[in-house]
């Protein structure tokens, strides 16, 4: 009986050693990474793109507000410089960024991002002399167009309406300090 048990055990051991294959990890260490069918990678990629689009909408809106604030600051700084300039002439003068010359226009243009506010126009206006009231005002206006990036993505999808630009115009008025007799 002991001999029969010994033969059966030997056969079982031999059979299991013949059936035993090397593990897949021993053959290729990267099989653990490639066992998936690829569905998770596709889902992650698609959801990541959707997340980027959803996250870009408020960021793009914030860039629009930031651009408007830059335009306001540029107009305010230009008006400060113009209010203290005693060589101004009455009337309106305009330039388009970046082709601005003159101290007031250069300082105003330096505060505007031409990448965010495309084809910005700077206008400088000094009220005409009315005589006795010492109330001449200088006005600096900065205007341009902000192009939303997200709406350009919608154009790529096939929406043909012109949704991607918003006009921005900011103006500052200050009393001109170089008035005669004031």
pLDDT at 17 (0 to 100):
54
Q: Is residue 7 part of a domain?
A: no
- Per residue in 37-64, pLDDT (tens digit) is 677 788 888 899 888 888 888 888 899 8
- Per residue in 162-171, pLDDT (tens digit) is 667 888 999 9
Q: Is residue 169 part of a domain?
A: yes
pLDDT at 163 (0 to 100):
67
Q: Which one, of 139, 140, 98, 95, lies nearest residue 117 by Cα?
A: 98
As a whole number of angstroms, the distance between CA 164 and CA 158 comes to 13
pLDDT at 28 (0 to 100):
61
Looking at the 3D structure of the chain, how many domains does it have?
1
pLDDT at 110 (0 to 100):
84
Residue 73, C-beta contacts closer than 8 angstroms, at least 6 positions apart: 111
Q: Is residue 10 part of a domain?
A: no
Q: Is residue 34 part of a domain?
A: no
pLDDT at 106 (0 to 100):
84
pTM here is 0.68
Q: Is residue 160 part of a domain?
A: yes
Q: Return the bridge partners of 93, or none.
A: 124
Q: Is there a contact between 107 and 83 (Cβ–Cβ < 8 Å)?
A: no
Residue 67: which domain range? 55-177
Which residues of the chain are under the pLDDT cut of 50?
none
Q: Is residue 17 part of a domain?
A: no
pLDDT at 73 (0 to 100):
93
Q: Is residue 116 part of a domain?
A: yes
Q: Is residue 74 part of a domain?
A: yes
């Amino acid at each position: 009986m002991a001999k029969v048990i010994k033969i059966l055990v030997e056969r079982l051991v031999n059979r299991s050693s013949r059936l035993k294959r090397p593990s897949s990890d021993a053959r290729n260490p990267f099989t653990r990474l490639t066992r998936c069918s690829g569905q998770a990678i596709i889902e992650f990629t698609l959801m990541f793109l959707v997340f980027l689009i959803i996250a870009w909408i408020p960021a793009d809106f914030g860039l629009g507000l930031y651009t408007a604030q830059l335009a306001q600051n540029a107009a305010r700084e230009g008006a400060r410089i113009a209010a203290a300039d005693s060589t101004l002439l009455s009337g309106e003068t305009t330039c388009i960024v970046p082709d601005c010359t003159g101290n007031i226009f250069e300082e105003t243009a330096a505060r505007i991002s031409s990448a965010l506010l495309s084809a910005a126009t700077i206008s400088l206006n000094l009220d005409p002399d009315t005589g006795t009231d010492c109330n001449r005002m200088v006005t600096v206006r900065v205007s341009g167009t902000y192009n939303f990036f997200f709406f350009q993505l919608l154009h790529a999808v096939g929406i043909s309406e012109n949704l991607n630009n918003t006009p921005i115009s900011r103006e500052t008025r200050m009393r001109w300090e170089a008035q005669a007799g004031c």
